[in-house]
Chain A
């Protein structure tokens, strides 16, 4: 079965640079979520999209932005990177019919290291 695809899997950036992470949800899933997980931490909710519209916002820094495109893939853009942004970034998706009631499936994550 198709899973959530994230790219790149690993990314190394310098401070103050910009990074873009991509997420391809499971086909026919209409809700996408982004999470950030620091070393030894629990996943922190950043933002979600339902039918290409932002649906919820969590602890996402103003330096970060995200969007969901017409083909339902999503991108997380991170600018002015800081050392503290080094983390594992997860994308997840859930199927149609009011996503919040359904199982959410996670990708393998994108490792971002800021040096």
Chain B
């Protein structure tokens, strides 16, 4: 990946458990976005966090951003089988660019 690296690359949990995915990046960013992708489908936007924000919530999702460590995490609480998907982070640099770079993604499997 050019910019973002995610870990773990694959995660398997039981329904009801929490899932945490991490994303690291290399250069200063303007914002970071998390996406979900079901197999062979489009990328669904989950949440955007700006470089001056540290934490955001949306329903069962919690995203944190640590610009000093150049990393972000996505927490899904009380996971459901329907959360099974690949999760990607995408970053855009602080310079005037229109190029979002995706990380390698985490494949989450939630077992019923």
Contact = CB atoms under 8 A, between A and B. Distances in A.
Query: Which of B48, B100, B105 has the most chain A CB atoms closer than 10 A to its own CB?
Result: B100
Nearest to A111: B40
B31 A33 contact: no
Nearest to B40: A88
Interface string A28-53: 00010101000000111100101000
A104 B30 contact: no
Give me the 10 closest cross-chain CB pairs, A-B, nearest first: A56-B99, A106-B43, A108-B42, A48-B98, A55-B98, A42-B102, A43-B102, A56-B98, A106-B42, A42-B104
Interface of B: 1, 30-31, 33, 35, 40-45, 48, 50, 88, 90, 92, 96-105
A70 interface: no
B96 A100 contact: yes
Given A100-B100, A101-B30, A106-B45, 20 more contacts: A33-B98, A35-B102, A42-B1, A42-B102, A45-B101, A45-B102, A48-B99, A55-B97, A55-B98, A56-B99, A90-B42, A99-B98, A100-B96, A101-B31, A101-B50, A103-B33, A103-B45, A104-B45, A106-B44, A108-B42
SS of A interface (majority)? strand
Interface of A: 31, 33, 35, 42-45, 48, 50, 55-56, 58, 88, 90, 92, 99-109, 111
15 contacts: A42-B102, A45-B99, A45-B100, A48-B99, A55-B98, A58-B99, A92-B43, A100-B92, A100-B97, A100-B98, A100-B99, A101-B92, A102-B48, A104-B100, A106-B43
B40 A33 contact: no
Nearest to A58: B99
Contact of B88 (A31, A43, A55, A108): A43
